[in-house]
Amino acid sequence: ALAEDGYGLWLRYRPLAAGPAADLATRAGSIETEEAADPTIAAAVAELRRALPGMTGRPAGQGGTLLIGTPASPRIAALGLLLARAGDDGFVIRDVTVGGRRLLVIAGNRPVGALYGAFHFLRLAQQGALPARLDVAERPRVKLRLLNHWDNLDRTVERGYSGQSIWAWWKLPIASDPRYVDYARANASLGINGAVLNNVNAKPDSLTPDWIAKAAKVADVLRPYGIRVYLSARWSAPVELKQAKTADPLDPAVAAWWRAKADEIYRAIPDFGGFLVKANSEGQPGPQDYKRTHVDGANMLAAAVKPHGGIVMWRAFVYSDVDPDDRAKQAYDEFKPLDSRFADNVIVQVKNGPIDFQPREPFHPLFGAMPKTPLMLEVQITKEYLGFATHLAYLAPMWSEVLAADTYAKGRGSTVAKVIDGSLEGHRLTGMAGVANIGSDRNWSGSIFDQANWYAFGRLAWNPDLTPQAIAGEWARQTFTPDPAFVTPVTAMMMGSRQAVVDYMTPMGLAHLMATGHHYGPGPWVGDLARPEWNPTYYHRADKDGIGFDRTRTGSNAVAQYAAPVAKRFADKRTVGDDFLLWFHHVGWDERQPSGRTLWEELVSRYDRGVATVEGMQRTWASLAPMIDGERAAQIASFLVIQKEEAIWWRDASLAYFGSVSGRKLPTGVRPPA
């Protein structure tokens, strides 16, 4: 047997226990369709045929019948399945009885829905227990469920920790790669329906005919799986490619260049999704270089793709040369006044928090603040600020925390989830993007547990209300074993893992204390970088009296960017809660916390708790490892050793530094809270 190296992700299709295996064979022994000519239905059938014999232990073609397709299939149309429940992209899975014989049906209104249904069925089956009578109907809540690859054309990956880019650009467009198909299968299994292939810090070359042909080849491979290709566009491409004198969005020659470029791309990729743009941020060019606005830029591009049904995702992550009294305020300040002015095929892509993918940030104040503009949520699957690929940190709790956050934009219950699924303001263009953690490592994501973050992103984009706990359980059952003796403790370990990182890196609302540049390891002391807000000292503001960034009225007043009830809660030290205390307040070292400890003692105990949690994870894993294969078990154990050493490094370095600033000693007798 092949070593278990993680390549199979959560699509391993290992033999089930005797009872579930027999049941599955009885219900889905042979796969039938009347739409085999459709490439998407063909992909679904191929997946089922590949999966089921391995799980049931019986050759294909024996046992009960599974019928898959759409109403284009006469047998499915005859069943009258009430497919309205499935919407455009969803599915129905049902056990029915036809002519006295049992039949299992998976149907969507479109082939892609049937494909998602097939993967959902396999998800249920792999977990070891199908309900006695299946009657499932699902549809995605969010329309654009996209991966953003920060992949460069030389195959390096910005903030990628799992090897080279999976896109083997030099071999494209002639040679494909079987990995592209497995990538598509994994994404389709979650309902992910789009991929931006190249880095937001884009090169103009990605828009040249050579690269368009390469992207077209990838698009051809992904298409049967319902995945569209998008490209990041570099604002100044027409100038850098020496085909225009300016990139001024209001110059007719520039608009004509982009129209022609869009036409060219659509000739090669008829279902091209559109452009993602990072403009006037971190040195990237943009319309502001010509004294134009984000609206001028986005709408000009939107007009170019509009005749083809394309969209523009315009990023709100703007971080530029202004002299910020508070970097956290810049996106809101620039975008809020532009509400209602964007074209109807523009969606503004907003990071979960106002700074930059820190282990914990409050939700971005733009959510709820631009009711007339569709906003999509951008999260980072790759762990730039959470220990790269070696630290075990399950990120669904972080994303769910943001999705569940109440913006109060239209009173209580105006959650971020309702902003991005369009239900709060009645938008139909909706989306969620995840910065991919995928590379050419055998295990795709650099570590086994990082696969769970890819998985969780896809599941939450499909349904933002799924609980992180349930998603972790699904993933662990499919990735390792359905045995509850394994799944229960591993799920608990995953659920606590992100808070552990917060505790040992940036507790109580601290942020951006990572070493400069690579963002790995502690560097709270750095104080000599060119711009103040590149220095961790800008973020923690520790001095001999206290620590934290005053974002209330006495400070930067960033709290005022939130709806009144939220602003009021954040502005008061007594109600802000300790997760965001130092994000919004400068607090004296000796101020008493609800625990009875001083702030200094509390911080020390948080750092300690982070280390203790990692030690607990090591113990958990030591007890569980014998239940799975040796190769994955050993890799995970060794990464936990790295994580523990580095958690200690973080704690000791941070406390040594803060202790030197505060003049406080390490308290004796402070134990982690129970």
Q: Is 384 among the catalytic positions?
A: yes
8 A C-beta contact, residue 601 and residue 670: yes
Q: How far is the CB of 202 from ligand GCU (least distance, A)?
A: 10
Q: Give the CA distances from residue 491 to residues 49, 192, 299, 473, 631, in Å, rounded to whole numbers and listed in that order.
A: 30, 23, 45, 6, 20
With respect to ligand GCU, which residue has the nearer C-beta, 516 or 660?
516
Catalytic residue among 89, 138, 296, 356: 356
Are 489 and 624 within 8 A, CB to CB?
yes
Euclidean distance between CA atoms 592 and 425, whole angstroms: 42
Q: Cα Rg for the chain, rounded, in angstroms?
A: 26
500: tokens are: 């552990």
Q: Is 14 left (phi over 0), alpha (psi -120 to 50) or beta?
A: beta
Nearer to ligand GCU, 200 or 402 (CB): 200
Residue 88 and residue 109 in contact, taking contact as beta carbons nearer than 8 Å: yes
Q: How far is the CB of 434 from ligand GCU (least distance, A)?
A: 12
Residues between 511 and 540 with contacts to ligand GCU, criterion CB under 6 A: none
Q: Which of residues 36-65 bind ligand GCU (CB under 6 A)?
A: none
Alpha-carbon distance of 96 to 100, in angstroms, equals: 10
The Cα 78–Cα 103 span in angstroms is 13
**Structure tokens given for 487:** 């799944």
Nearer to ligand GCU, 282 or 590 (CB): 282
Nearest approach in angstroms of CB 370 to ligand GCU is 19
The alpha carbon dihedral of 406, 409, 413, 418 has a sign of negative
Q: How far is the CB of 519 from ligand GCU (least distance, A)?
A: 7
Q: How far is the CB of 330 from ligand GCU (least distance, A)?
A: 13
- Name the minimum Å distance from CB 398 to ligand GCU: 16
Residue in 416, 606, 604 with CA at minimum distance from that of residue 499? 606
Of 376 and 581, the one with the shorter C-beta distance to ligand GCU is 376
- DSSP codes of every residue in 339-381: TT-S-TTEEEEEESSSSSS-SS-PPPTTTTT-TTS-EEEEEE-
Residue pair 69/28 in contact by the 8 Å Cβ criterion: no
Alpha-carbon gap, residue 542 to 535, rounded angstroms: 12
Asked if 469 touches ligand GCU (CB under 6 A), the answer is no
Residue 135 or 282: which CB sits closer to ligand GCU?
282
Q: What angle do CA 143, 401, 483 make, to 5 degrees?
A: 85
- Kindly give the residue spans of alpha helices, DSSP state H, lying in 147-279: 178-188, 209-222, 237-240, 252-268
What does the alpha-carbon distance between residue 318 and residue 322 come to, in Å, rounded to a whole number? 10
Residue 419: CB minimum distance to ligand GCU, A: 20
Query: Considering beta carbons, is residue 516 or 623 the nearer one to ligand GCU?
Result: 516
The smaller minimum CB distance to ligand GCU, of residues 475 and 539, is found at 539
Please tell me the total number of residues recorded for the chain in this structure. Answer: 674
CB burial of residue 442 (10 Å; 0-12, 13-18, 19+): exposed
The Cα-based distances of 252 to 234, 292, 314 in angstroms read: 18, 14, 21
Give CA–CA dist 536/513, Å, rounded.
5
* Subset of residues 304 to 323 that bind ligand GCU, contact rule: CB under 6 A: 317
Question: Is the Cβ of residue 159 or residue 540 nearer to ligand GCU in the bound state?
Answer: 159
What does the CA dihedral 606, 612, 617, 618 come to, rounded to 10 degrees? Answer: 150
Please state, as a whole number, how many other Cβ atoms lie within 10 Å of the Cβ of residue 627. Answer: 14
**DSSP conformation class of 87:** T
Considering beta carbons, is residue 278 or 294 the nearer one to ligand GCU?
Answer: 278
Subset of residues 127 to 166 that bind ligand GCU, contact rule: CB under 6 A: 158-159
Minimum distance, C-beta of residue 159 to ligand GCU, in the bound complex (Å): 5
| Choice between 65 and 320, CB closer to ligand GCU | 320
Which stretch of DSSP H or E encloses residue 107? strand 101-107
Q: Which is nearer to ligand GCU, 516 or 638 (CB)?
A: 516
Closest CA to 434 of 649, 148, 211, 650: 148
From candidates 35, 356, 421, 602, binder to ligand GCU by CB under 6 A: 356
**Catalytic residue among 263, 282, 572, 590, which?**
282
Examine the residue annotation and report whether 282 is marked as an active-site residue of this protein: yes
Rounded least distance, CB 148 to ligand GCU, Å? 9
The site string for ligand GCU over 263-292 (x = CB under 6 A, - otherwise) reads ---------------x---x----------
Tell me the number of residues near ligand GCU by CB under 6 A.
Answer: 9
Closer residue to ligand GCU in complex, CB, 122/355: 355
**Binding mask 371-410 vs ligand GCU (x if CB under 6 A, - otherwise)?**
-------------x--------------------------
User: What is the residue whose two structure tokens read 């570590």?
Assistant: 447
Coil, helix or strand for 605?
helix
The single residue among 30, 164, 176, 201 that binds ligand GCU, judged by CB under 6 A, is 201
What's the closest the beta carbon of residue 231 comes to ligand GCU, in angstroms?
Answer: 15
Cα 107 from Cα 116, distance rounded (Å): 9
Q: Is 200 in the site for ligand GCU (CB under 6 A)?
A: yes
Question: Smallest Cα–Cα separation from 158: which of 284, 280, 274?
Answer: 284
Q: Which residues are the active-site residues?
A: 282, 356, 384
Q: Binding residues for ligand GCU, per CB under 6 A? A: 158-159, 200-201, 278, 282, 317, 356, 384
